[in-house]
Amino acid sequence: MEILNVLVAAAAGFVLGAVYYGILAEPWMVAAGIKRGTDGKPESGQTPMIFALSFVLQLVVAGMMRHVFALSGVTTSGAGLIAGLGVGLFFISPWIALNNLYAGRPIKLTLIDAGYASLACAAMGLVLSLF
């Protein structure tokens, strides 16, 4: 049952990312300096492999969160939501900020990506605590 829990949590984060970046596509591409073709889409394209690897990485995050939650006794939906948000805000977001700082990337990119990481981890935490 735990693998199903992790799969559903990863799917929640993945779907949330599709919606989040769908809404923020334009400011994200500008902040990230993505080169676009005349159709407005990224020149490099988005292959199915990118989406497959993205889901695998979501699985890694969800799996580790499930492990940490189990060790920490996170069992209620409220605790899962807050713990997930904490992972996003205090583990993943600072790392994104650190990488973007050294890469000379704009703060707007950091805020967009860190916002997604925080929301996705909160959603994953909620899902993980529901099963």
Identify whether 8 is part of a domain: yes
Identify whether 41 is part of a domain: no
The number of CA neighbours under 13 Å toward the Cβ of 21 is: 17
36 DSSP assignment: B
110 or 44: whose pLDDT is higher?
Answer: 110
So what's the pLDDT on residue 7? 98
Identify whether 36 is part of a domain: no
So what's the pLDDT on residue 70? 95
Please spell the DSSP secondary structure of 38-77, one letter per residue.
Answer: TTSSBTT---HHHHHHHHHHHHHHHHHHHHHHHHHT--SH
So what's the pLDDT on residue 83? 98
Identify whether 45 is part of a domain: no
Identify whether 47 is part of a domain: no
Identify whether 92 is part of a domain: yes
Identify whether 44 is part of a domain: no
Identify whether 85 is part of a domain: yes
Write down the mean pLDDT value for the chain: 95
Question: For the chain, what is the domain count?
Answer: 1
Do the beta carbons of residue 128 and residue 67 sit within 8 Å?
no
Residue with the two structure tokens 């693998």: 3
Looking at the DSSP assignment, which residues form a beta bridge with residue 36? Answer: 42
| Parent domain of 18 | 2-31+52-130
So what's the pLDDT on residue 1? 65
